[in-house]
Chains A and B, each alone.
Chain A
Amino acid sequence: MVRVRPHLVVVGAGMVAARFLHELAQRAPDCFRVTLIGREDTAPYDRVQLSAVLAGTHSAAALDLMGDVSNQLDLTLKLGTTVTELDPARRSLTLDGGTTIAFDIVVLATGSEAVRLPLPGGHLPGVRTFRDLADVETLSGASGRAVVIGGGLLGLEAAAGLRARGLDVALVHLMPWLMERQLDAEGGSALATAMKRLGIDLHLGAKSEAIEAEGTGLTLRLDGGVRLPADLVVMAVGVRPYVGLARDAGLACNRGILVDDGLATSAEGVFALGECVEHQGTCYGLVWPLYAQARVLAQQLSGDRAARFAGATPFTSLKVAGVEVFSAGATDGDDQLILRDPTHGIYRKLVLADGRLEGAVLVGDAAGGAWYAELIEQGIPVDAWRDRLMFGRAYVPEAVADEPTLAVAAA
């Protein structure tokens, strides 16, 4: 008798979903019939590289993440499709056309959505977010003056990308320094120097009050009365986990969909991973811990019940406008090592506590970042190397630890 393979449905076709399929194909290529449902028309692509597409250094085609996983799995793709309802009890999904799909296991990888500031004028034409290929296509066609709201990772990438396309760019950030969640004030300031050097007009500690249509263009009004004229306003003020489907289905949710160490949700047969989940109080927004989730879930579903996602120290590693930025763990502490090379836009800070590395902020030169993340993650004593730690692993030959296998978010 031919055994009918269980039907595994993945809702959401983002980066983590793609990685999950690859992990599954490696471990259990023949165990499931798999359906991947994605809202965008595009197969999973490398969202991290959108800024490169915007900057014109990558083509959209180069972002494909599927490779030949379609051949390795019994996989059905349903793109341009939205799931409108999940019924865990009946193990069925309803699609936007009204079709229902039965599943044995469902994996929610719904990701997150860009936040739009509730500003007056926030929905005027010419106000965009920076989240997907469609956004990038729009932004790529722009010219003239752009204002980017948000000095986090996405905002900086959008600003740098637009600047690279020749636009005059202003960047408005509510907080006193850039990337304040990943960088300390001085690191943020080093980054600001690099951004200014690119010709980006920075407005830090500035609150956006309204967007006004003015002639053919727009004007962003800041508190204090500064008015920034723009042909394009990009809101890049963050993302929030997309939990609507799960919540409607009665799954336990907080900020994200709550999962345990095995990525199981509160409902039997329903798993979740990626930016939409909340694990032990943390919603991860960076790709490498999420890839770890993908691996753990693939292990679980291929029979390795011991596989556990234990959480991760978040780290950021990116290159924005040619400036390497790395951040992991704490950004401030009582005991810190600091290297400053302002001429080269370099600022590096290591935060120590109890003889262990607690955090690293690296701007302009992120060498050793992955190693630092590992030292932080594993709580390795570093006192003996204190004087050499800053200068990288090459100076600490006696450091024996596994080579980091962490995927880095941007090249």
Chain B
Amino acid sequence: MAVRTTCPYCGVGCGVLASRKADGLVVVRGDPDHPANYGRLCSKGTALGETTGLEDRLLTPMVDGVATGWEAALDRVAHGFAAAIDRHGPESVAFYVSGQLLTEDYYVANKLMKGFIGAANIDTNSRLCMASAVAAHKRAFGTDTVPCEYTDLEAADLVVLAGSNLAWCHPVIWQRLEAARRRRPEMRLVVIDPRRTATAELADLHLSIAPGMDGVLFAGLLAELDRRDVRDDAFVEGHVDDMAAALEAAHRVAPDLAAVARRCGLKRADVVTLADWYARHDRTVTLWSQGLNQSTSGTDKGNAIINLHLLTGRIGRPGMGPFSITGQPNAMGGREVGGLATQLAAHVDFGDSARTEIVRRFWRAPRLATMPGLKAVDLFDAVDKGQIKALWIMATNPAASLPAADRVRAAIRKCPLVVVSDTERRTDTTDLAHVLLPAAAWGEKDGTVTNSERTISRQRAFLSVPGAARPDWWIIKEVAHRLGHGADFAFNGPAEIFAEHAALARAVVRDLDFGAGDLDYDGLEPTAWPFEAKARPFADGRFFTPNERARAVPVVPRQPMQVTSLELPLVMLTGRYRDAWHTQTRTGRAPSLTGHRPEARLELHPSDAERAGVGTGDLVRAITPWGEATLRAEITESIARGTCFAPMHWTAQQSSAGRIDALVAPNVDPISGQPESKAQPVAVARVVTGAEGFFVSTERREAPAGALYWSRRRVVGGWLVEFALPEGASEPAALARALVVGGDIEWLEYSDPIQRRFRAVARQSGAPVLALFVNEALPRDWLAGAFGTNGIGARELLAAVAADVGDGPLVCACFGVGEGRVRTAVTGGARSVDALGAVLKAGTNCGSCRPELQALLRHHVEDAA
């Protein structure tokens, strides 16, 4: 019997049907009735069944590295927090939580911190994701209210994606958009992104904008539409304040489109085309994401977009609006309960004294926080300065994901009490904890999440909670009990928590509306708020400001805080990969997801690579004053000259030096506090290696001793570790033998000394347990697959490359199709993505790889011509 639940990855919030077979196999498919996806899933969602294993799970509370019972662990947490509060006040403790938490977990954590501990030092990793959009919403609308729904994208005539690689980061919305474009080919799609991403690959117009200059572009468009009299004067007059000031600022910043094009590094003709399209299409959605938010002027950029929609009255009606898409599964739920240092609760702001009072009474809060707390970057600064004496981190990995991550790691290490609730035994953050609390994982816990279009969906359990793990709300509640607040945290389950959350929202009367009556929580269908009104926000032109009028915000665009120099000549952008999620604690478990980007790559433009003396496949070191990372170079024209790109997904658990946020300066947007993660000047240098190699192993193993680089990932048969050795390293045979030690280990070795190549297979009871290759350009994925094949001979593994089976880099994760087969199919006459799908099935499940298929198609057809 399949359980209806919700995918734990991105902010699209797809419904999934999950079931556990008798043999333990977890099977997941798209929920055909869920309004976010109607049965679709992306590559990550499709592979969810591969991620629910218990290997490497944290299954018991640990105190100072020793497994304990819950009593001891909770007592230690409560005593630590109580002592800190007694001695140093409520401001001396902090929670750092996560958009991965369910709304109910978030609610309990927020209530405990702000109502009972009495400070607002609870912030969340959503700060890194969409805090700028929240701030922009609040400046313009009075509340953090998302005006759009996914259907607007399908109904629009013009869709502009700004700073969004939708095809990779929100693949199911992308699929819906693609389907709509097929139905209505007249629809226009524009992508504004410095990179030629998979999304840009399929756009009608791609504007490869200089990093961080989106504010200028949108101000320029605002001024241009005004010049062309493309305005909804009645709407502005009736519902918008400050438009004159916003226009004046825009005209000053962007006197004409030529100036805009120049400042943004764009062709004037492209900017004119975009302006023409904006002028022509009333039904326009401008969708933005982290590309704009992760900026020291991210809030302004959001408002620059909203200004455009306010000027033209393109908001509150179908097929149009400014649409911020969130990265995380429950960033929206966190925003709703107020789980951010900058809000109190239920979309109530600090300073709204009337509603603050309602909250105080509702909670019967003995010590209600009345001032904003520390935002993420500031919070860890305070940890660094010793101002935070007790820190509780839930479901997130700040030691890897915050800017200046090495400094953050050092700061956490200094904190007197570090509590981490997590599902994983080993992360960069759990490695620093005094107390580790085992949390229930997706598939094991119950609650709700809210997606990017305000739809609340249930997450339901279909697996039993393993070991001593517990849901996060339970853990927080138990600590609240021990802090003396048992009566106010007497929750018996998520339904009670949600009911209280909904009642609070009702009490404060804001945009949030979860219905008047009791909900059928268990049977709750995916429902978008407002529940009662069932109307889209702002349909009546009324906003949540005191005068119910929207506010246009005069925007004076700023360039990124840091600029390039002789020492740091390239601008590094950071972002996501298609098949990886965050720090890969979940996607890293799924062999079918690790093949698309097996290692962290630094994408470089050919001319920059040439200047740095770097070739594709070389190891490169990216260096900033904050830290450094070693990645595999990929030379590509999809990256603009002068920029480079690195993924955010690698941690110390997967790579010797892939912690990319260690390189990013902790500069933040002054309003939202969101860090500027997409405009970091860096220096790039080739890493000189003595030898490079990799091994596949049935067990997780460390890289060879003395390796100057390594990167580890799951594969079908176990683990695959890439490594590089310094010049003058020991003989590979000796290194190999040190990896697997045991009297019953038998080695089979092949060496080509003059080419400095070496291969070895270790057998135990006749079965291969490790296969190592040095200085061999062999097809990793075939080898990994072969390694996982029962009965494969050691000699066959050793011959590896000999078998004509290498399919090249993975393209389609769902059907395991690599570039080799795509190339063959193109040679065989396939001339469209659909034709490739007919032959190979590639791109016919989740569709996330369709842009890459398109790019390969173009490439190979050109080759053939």
Docked CA distance A391–B802 (Å):
8
Which A residues from 356 to 411 make CB contacts under 8 A with B?
Answer: 386-388, 390-391, 395-397
Docked CA distance A334–B754 (Å):
8
Partner of A335, one of B754, B802, B804: B754
CB pair A338–B750 under 8 Å, yes or no, is yes
A337 in the interface, Cβ–Cβ < 8 Å?
yes
* Cβ contacts under 8 Å, B738 to chain A: none
A336 in the interface, Cβ–Cβ < 8 Å?
yes
A342 in the interface, Cβ–Cβ < 8 Å?
yes
A341 in the interface, Cβ–Cβ < 8 Å?
yes
Interface size on A, residues (CB 8 A): 18
B741 in the interface, Cβ–Cβ < 8 Å?
no
* Cβ contacts under 8 Å, B17 to chain A: none
Partner of A339, one of B750, B803, B804: B750
CB pair A343–B746 under 8 Å, yes or no, is yes
Partner of A337, one of B746, B750, B802: B750
* Cβ contacts under 8 Å, A391 to chain B: 795, 798-799, 802
B201 in the interface, Cβ–Cβ < 8 Å?
no
CB pair A340–B799 under 8 Å, yes or no, is no
Which B residues from 771 to 817 make CB contacts under 8 A with A?
Answer: 776, 794-795, 798-799, 801-804
* Cβ contacts under 8 Å, B799 to chain A: 388, 390-391, 395
Q: Give a binary string over B748-777; 1 marks a CB under 8 Å from any A CB, 0 the rest.
A: 111111110100000100000000000010
A interface majority secondary structure: mixed
Partner of B801, one of A335, A336, A342, A388: A388
B277 in the interface, Cβ–Cβ < 8 Å?
no
Docked CA distance A338–B758 (Å):
9
What total count of A-B pairs have CB within 8 Å? 53
Docked CA distance A396–B794 (Å):
19
With contact pairs A334-B754, A335-B754, A391-B795 given, residues A340 and B802 touching in the complex (Cβ less than 8 Å): no
Which residue of chain A lies nearest to B759 when distances are taken between CB atoms in the complex?
A: A339
CB pair B747–A387 under 8 Å, yes or no, is no
Docked CA distance A396–B753 (Å):
21
Q: Give a binary string over B484-516; 1 marks a CB under 8 Å from any A CB, 0 the rest.
A: 000000000000000000000000000000000
B interface majority secondary structure: mixed
* Cβ contacts under 8 Å, A343 to chain B: 746-748, 763
Docked CA distance A397–B751 (Å):
22
CB pair A337–B798 under 8 Å, yes or no, is no
CB pair A340–B803 under 8 Å, yes or no, is no
Q: How far is the CB of A396 from chain B (nearest CB, A)?
A: 8
With contact pairs A335-B754, A391-B795 given, residues A340 and B801 touching in the complex (Cβ less than 8 Å): no
CB pair A388–B802 under 8 Å, yes or no, is yes
* Cβ contacts under 8 Å, B802 to chain A: 387-388, 391, 395-396
Partner of A336, one of B749, B753, B795, B798: B753
User: Counting chain A CB atoms within 10 Å of each CB, which of B748, B798, B803, B804 scores highest?
Assistant: B748
Q: Give a binary string over B385-420; 1 marks a CB under 8 Å from any A CB, 0 the rest.
A: 000000000000000000000000000000000000
Partner of B749, one of A340, A396, A397: A340
Docked CA distance A340–B762 (Å):
12
Q: How far is the CB of A173 from chain B (nearest CB, A)?
A: 27
* Cβ contacts under 8 Å, B757 to chain A: 387
Docked CA distance A337–B754 (Å):
9
Docked CA distance A342–B748 (Å):
7
With contact pairs A334-B754, A391-B795 given, residues A339 and B749 touching in the complex (Cβ less than 8 Å): yes
CB pair A342–B747 under 8 Å, yes or no, is yes
Docked CA distance A390–B748 (Å):
13
User: Counting chain B CB atoms within 10 Å of each CB, which of A335, A391, A397 scores highest?
Assistant: A391
CB pair B803–A395 under 8 Å, yes or no, is yes
* Cβ contacts under 8 Å, B755 to chain A: 386
* Cβ contacts under 8 Å, A397 to chain B: 804
Which residue of chain B lies nearest to A341 when distances are taken between CB atoms in the complex?
A: B748
Docked CA distance A334–B802 (Å):
24
Q: How far is the CB of A405 from chain B (nearest CB, A)?
A: 26
Q: How far is the CB of B734 from chain A (nearest CB, A)?
A: 14
Q: How far is the CB of B771 from chain A (nearest CB, A)?
A: 14
Docked CA distance A338–B757 (Å):
11
* Cβ contacts under 8 Å, A387 to chain B: 752, 757, 776, 801-802
Q: How far is the CB of A344 from chain B (nearest CB, A)?
A: 8
Q: Give a binary string over B264-280; 1 marks a CB under 8 Å from any A CB, 0 the rest.
A: 00000000000000000
With contact pairs A395-B802, A395-B803 given, residues A390 and B763 touching in the complex (Cβ less than 8 Å): no
CB pair B748–A340 under 8 Å, yes or no, is yes
Partner of B752, one of A337, A340, A342, A395: A337
* Cβ contacts under 8 Å, B748 to chain A: 339-341, 343
* Cβ contacts under 8 Å, A390 to chain B: 750, 799
Q: How far is the CB of B745 from chain A (nearest CB, A)?
A: 10
Docked CA distance A334–B794 (Å):
27
Q: How far is the CB of A341 from chain B (nearest CB, A)?
A: 5
Which residue of chain A lies nearest to B776 when distances are taken between CB atoms in the complex?
A: A387
Which residue of chain B lies nearest to A349 when distances are taken between CB atoms in the complex?
A: B751
User: Counting chain B CB atoms within 10 Å of each CB, which of A335, A340, A387, A395 scores highest?
Assistant: A387
CB pair B747–A339 under 8 Å, yes or no, is no
Which B residues from 720 to 752 make CB contacts under 8 A with A?
Answer: 746-752
* Cβ contacts under 8 Å, B753 to chain A: 336, 338
User: Counting chain A CB atoms within 10 Å of each CB, which of B776, B802, B803 scores highest?
Assistant: B802
* Cβ contacts under 8 Å, B794 to chain A: 341
Docked CA distance A388–B757 (Å):
13
Which residue of chain A lies nearest to B750 when distances are taken between CB atoms in the complex?
A: A339
Q: How far is the CB of B742 from chain A (nearest CB, A)?
A: 13
Which residue of chain B lies nearest to A352 when distances are taken between CB atoms in the complex?
A: B754
Docked CA distance A334–B753 (Å):
9
Q: How far is the CB of A332 from chain B (nearest CB, A)?
A: 13
Partner of A386, one of B751, B752, B798, B804: B752
Which residue of chain B lies nearest to A334 when distances are taken between CB atoms in the complex?
A: B754
Docked CA distance A159–B716 (Å):
49
Docked CA distance A387–B748 (Å):
16
CB pair A338–B754 under 8 Å, yes or no, is no
Q: How far is the CB of B803 from chain A (nearest CB, A)?
A: 7
* Cβ contacts under 8 Å, A396 to chain B: 802
Which residue of chain B lies nearest to A395 when distances are taken between CB atoms in the complex?
A: B802
* Cβ contacts under 8 Å, A337 to chain B: 750-752
Docked CA distance A332–B63 (Å):
61
Q: Which residues of B contact A (CB under 8 A)?
A: 746-755, 757, 763, 776, 794-795, 798-799, 801-804
Could you write out 24 A-B pairs with CB less than 8 Å apart? A335-B754, A336-B754, A338-B751, A339-B748, A339-B798, A340-B749, A340-B750, A340-B751, A341-B749, A341-B794, A342-B746, A342-B747, A343-B746, A387-B752, A387-B776, A387-B801, A387-B802, A388-B801, A390-B750, A391-B795, A391-B799, A391-B802, A395-B799, A396-B802
Task: State the 9 A-B residue pairs at the shortest beta-carbon distance, nearest first.
Answer: A395-B802, A391-B799, A343-B746, A388-B802, A341-B748, A335-B754, A340-B749, A339-B750, A391-B802
Q: Given contacts A340-B748, A391-B795, could you give 16 more A-B pairs where the C-beta distance is less than 8 Å?
A: A334-B754, A336-B753, A339-B748, A339-B798, A340-B751, A341-B747, A343-B748, A386-B755, A387-B757, A388-B799, A388-B801, A388-B802, A391-B799, A391-B802, A395-B799, A395-B803
